[in-house]
Amino acid sequence: MRTRALHVAFVNNMPDGAFADTEAQFEALLGIGAPGVPDVEVLRYASEERRAAAGVDPAVRARYAPVAEMFPTRPDGVVVTGCEPGAGGVRDEPLWPLLTRILDWAPQATGSLWLACLAAHAALAHYEGLERRPLPAKLSGVLRQSVAAGHPLTRGLPGEVAIPHSRLNEVPAGALVVAGYRLALASERTGWTVATAERGDCLVVAVQGHPEYRPDTLLREYRRDVRRWLAGEREVYPALPEGYLDAEGERRLAAFRRRAESGRRTPELAGELPFAAEAARL
């Protein structure tokens, strides 16, 4: 019988605008305060750069310790977020030195290591030498997955589930299988979504999807990408997330796109994107 709470170290690598929201998303995924879920105590960590960022609310920053303080600890589990990729190769990402230090420490320090998106790709490069490759276009949407029968992480799930995805890169599923990983969720459209392997006594959980996302997260990302296009920061107008909006929502946002592409391209037009109306309909 458990006599204490589960201790989960949470390493938040997200940028200013998504830092607090990502914390809330993952704590909801951990079932904090949910009936029937064991008590979980979250120990929050961030790099010195993240903690010092001007855009992070001081009240939020106060909840986070420097990552260096995590290494002497022995948490029951560790969750490491990714962030939006900014380099061609994962080894060139600014997070690479921090992530590799965590990846070297975790197998001897914890029983479970959950790695989200960029952090998962970093682990596969660092542990297995598997390099991510760019997708032809951004994969964004709520996409159906086949559930692997008999995998301990999928116990109780139906044969198919839908999981949010939002990424620019992938590591091929076949390479993971050859490297000894078990695929828990996968599909032809997305490749693998969740894959696991053991390193010593630690279960490594690599996640290419985003089960932590809130209902409006993909819509917020879409709005961000539209704003970047309007500001001339990206060349291609973003595609709508797949399997996400209803037909009316897709028609409204397609109409805004036609208007934006046929008129003068200015950042001010972003204020007319029907974000609030669509968010209320999700």
Write out the catalytic residue numbers.
Answer: 117, 210, 212
Nearest CA among 160, 119, 169, 173 for reference residue 139: 169
Encoded tokens for 171: 């590591």
40 contact partners, CB below 8 Å, separation of at least 6: 5, 6, 8, 30, 31, 32
Q: How far is CA 101 from the centre of its chain?
A: 20
Q: What is the dihedral of CA 162, 253, 221, 195, to 10 degrees?
A: 20
Q: What is the 3-state secondary structure (H, E, C) of 90-132?
A: HHHCCCHHHHHHHHHHHHHHCCEEEEECHHHHHHHHHHHCCCC
